[in-house]
A and B are shown apart, each in its own frame.
Chain A
Amino acid sequence: MAGIQESTFRNPVINWIDTRLPIFTMMQKEYGNFPTPKNFNYLWNFGALSMVILVIMIATGIFLAMNYQPNVTMAFDSVQRIMRDVNYGWLIRYAHQNGASMFFIVVYIHIFRGLYYGSYKSPRELLWMLGVVILLIMMATAFMGYVLPWGQMSYWGATVITNLFSAFPIVGQPIVTWLWGGFSVDNPTLNRFFSLHYLLPFVLIGIVFLHVAALHIVGSNNPLGIDVKTPQDTLPFHPYYTVKDSVGLCVCLLVFATLIFFAPNFLGDPNNFIPANPLLTPSDIVPEWYLLPYYAILRAVPNKLGGVCLMFGSILILFVLPWLDTSKVRSARFRPIYRQLIWVWVASFFVLGMVGAHKPLGWWVLTGRIATLYYFAHFLIVLPLLPRFEKTLPVPESISQPVLGGGRLPRGVPARSMENA
């Protein structure tokens, strides 16, 4: 029996399966014993949280799709039927609708964690880039999902966003017609958006799998941003981080439940309770809150093509972030200037969000431009040049030694060196 797996599980059924298909050994290795830096703070919850939200989104979405009608004459009413006549339809729909917001809140914090502690730096560049792909697919999925209820903001949001492609010379207009499946946003558009909105989350699962696989090869970063050196630096994932993630999950679900049950439409737009009307443009077309910063970047430039390029550029620039930031020190804790400037960048992101919610009039225009300028300058000027001026603080020897004052080996830590340390 060449190559058969020698399973150590006592349960005969599990042992039989594990001998032939070592999924239990794999789970044990990747989620049981998996050596994880011992100094995570609660910001390290958010990867697991986003995975839970993705599962909730898919679960609620499947039941919504059973009752939704992707047809322009029926879509709006079918959503109302879900809200009024389907058993607990309101719960499923509000969970899905607010789940999208929760997904972005959680993922934005997860990304911030990566930025603050330099998780994108070598050897985690590919892990980071897969994360950016996830963000892009999430945005596309969320955008198409927002079109499905076929309210005024669905329709006009879809019209504005798809029209962005018309900014490209020559190929622009044919691309828009091709996206629409006609000469305006109409039934073919709704049909294909529904199809893609159902497809993309499963693509997302595939990329998330690669994201996690890459994470398990290079290992997690940690708040000190230094490599794991000895087994004393790590804890087995279970039970230490399963329980810590569970605490975060409970708090996350508390926020989620507050939104669903007490303010389900707080983050929505009243206009989307009006059925789509191609003849009546709302006085102000705004995307959902999580896309507002990019919408502000789009409108910061007086030139349409320039705005579109900047908007896409604002995400695409993240792909090359690992090479723009030339500092060898990962964690902002040991980078006194970066530690301040990352908050300026966060502030510019929030300001862009506020600018995106307002008509581009008066001082909103200037504010939007300044914030856009810093958003890009942070990546293109500050990060590449900063290491020349910044005096980084001394980085500790190891995770366990100087910072935590040593400490004995906790129970359950495998007494073997980490394969990737």
Chain B
Amino acid sequence: MNSFISKQFPMNTMSRRLLRMLWPLIVVPLTAPALAADAVAAPSTAAADASSGAAAPAAPAADATGTTRSLDEGIQNLKKDVVDLNKDLFVLEEELLFPANTQVAVFVSMDVGDFFALDSITLKVDNHDVSNYLYTPREVAALLKGGVQRLYVGNLKSGDHELVAFFKGKGPHERYYQRAASIHFEKGVGAKYLELKITDHERAQQPEFEIKDWE
């Protein structure tokens, strides 16, 4: 046994053998550019903080093999097909359920929001409740960033109608606040869009609620 091992691993080449054994460990820090990628990643954190949202390189990537690339390409194509299909389904649903000649859509927008923290909105069309929506903080934030929510989509026949919106939330001084706004509108042949606008009235230090009829 002793002689066998000695033949296999002659002592005079120990250092070389050690290094051969250590080579896999050397490979990790040196042969893979992961180290370099790591290096880029770190300072960019500070960079991102300091430069108002500039994104930084993320974690290192291993070399993409042919197999994973081909699988990834296939999955990307499949995802694109799903997105296209999803769009076609959305179009079908809306055209089927809310045709343009009867469609009425109510949107919500919010500007500034210093004097009002939105909790919920209730909608009545021709004195019938059509929507009662409770907002999450994320949705409120989305409104404050400039998003406009399509709160309600429905169908109405041509003619005169009335929309009443009840806004609930916290007003100035953290007090419970409820206000209503209403509009009489005429539904014509095309789709009708109405916008509930919540804005701050700086001089009155109060929120303002109005409904805009988008002709």
Interaction A to B? no
Interface residues of B (CB under 8 A from A): none
Interface residues of A (CB under 8 A from B): none
